Structure 1
């Protein structure tokens, strides 16, 4: 099975995440896209506003109606800081017959050589880089063994972020249509992100 991993804080998950995964599934011929919330993201300077359980609930609600989208709690089960190399090792232990690919933005592809233990990661997993219109990308700057692990696919420009959604909620604006309906209901009922 060919699987794409969408990792992230998902605080909250939004339609941009779903469109990104859909673009990867179609362009790279994935059997499934797994949405994997991080327990504690290593590169963020603040803790998520929503708890791990709330972020998991929102991911489950967001993907429940799509036959190729699945929630994955691997990093939440591992606990601690979510380092990609440890996650990849765990995924390979749990699903040795699966062909795994991280789905990342093309802007992140350029920094793959700086990822912690990237040489160990590319031995085990590939990367699908989502290239938005207007994003310049020069793969020739990457070492050959990393470049060979990357496939670039096009993605429409969706200018939505979790930060924007939280800011809207904090100022009393609606997140409706920025997130799937069931996620919107969850945010409203649980009064997440309110000032």
Structure 2
């Protein structure tokens, strides 16, 4: 059976923390691939209207293009609306019945798993793979396989603020993504 990791999120913008988690999960669990799945509308976050769905998709494509075992999953963008992980994973399991899915989450998401839509049902169809993040407990009542990896206190919010304030972005996100953001005038770079 094929083993596929899914890392979902707004990716507004994608950064090295996302890439490190995906890479660590890929190797630790001997996955066949990891798919980056940008959501259409996140149920847990207010989205900045600064980066469109198309912008976020392009940034994910740029961030992952150098790694053959990273793919882009467009299912939530194509469906539109609020992206509930449960509905998405049901659709993916129906589309690919020969795949075992591993859903990759950081400590902040582990702490809030109990709030996820249909979490009891979701926990029966995917294996959660978790990563600690500074400032989180990374605890809940659901079964989460923890992967030991460098803990990085990095967020898309911090990166957007760096763009707005002119702070350094060196080593925080792939250069192609930074160049795209500047070219498109995102996050106050106009």
Q: Structure 1-normalised TM-score?
A: 0.88
Superposed CA RMSD in Å reads 1.8
Q: CA deviation at 1:137?
A: 4.5
Partner of 2:30: 29
CA contact (8 A) 1:24 1:130 kept: no
Q: CA deviation at 1:136?
A: 4.2
Q: Structure 2-normalised TM-score?
A: 0.91
Q: CA deviation at 1:68?
A: 1.1
Q: CA deviation at 1:114?
A: 3.0
CA distance in 1, matches of 2:152, 2:188: 24
- The number of residue pairs the alignment matches comes to 188
CA contact (8 A) 2:162 2:169 kept: yes
Structure 2: tracts of 5 or more residues without a match: none
CA contact (8 A) 2:10 2:42 kept: yes
1:153 aligned onto 2:147 = yes
Partner of 2:179: 185
Partner of 1:119: 120
Partner of 1:68: 69
Partner of 2:14: 13
State the 4+ residue runs in structure 1 displaced beyond 3 angstroms. Answer: 132-139
CA contact (8 A) 2:110 2:139 kept: no
In the superposition, relative to structure 1, how do residues 47 and 166 fare at CA in structure 2: closer, same or farther (>3 Å)?
closer
Structure 1: tracts of 5 or more residues without a match: none
* Structure 1 residue corresponding to 2:157, chosen from 160, 163, 167: 163
CA contact (8 A) 2:53 2:77 kept: yes
Partner of 2:167: 173
Say which SS state the counterpart of residue 2 (structure 1) adopts: strand
In the superposition, relative to structure 1, how do residues 19 and 48 fare at CA in structure 2: closer, same or farther (>3 Å)?
farther
Say which SS state the counterpart of residue 156 (structure 1) adopts: coil
Partner of 1:3: 4
CA distance in 1, matches of 2:166, 2:29: 39
CA distance in 1, matches of 2:151, 2:103: 20
More displaced 10-residue stretch of structure 1: 176-185 or 72-81: 176-185
CA distance in 2, matches of 1:192, 1:174: 16
> What does 1:48-67 correspond to in 2, within 5 Å?
48-67=49-68
1:194 aligned onto 2:151 = no
CA distance in 2, matches of 1:152, 1:83: 23
In the superposition, relative to structure 1, how do residues 67 and 77 fare at CA in structure 2: closer, same or farther (>3 Å)?
same
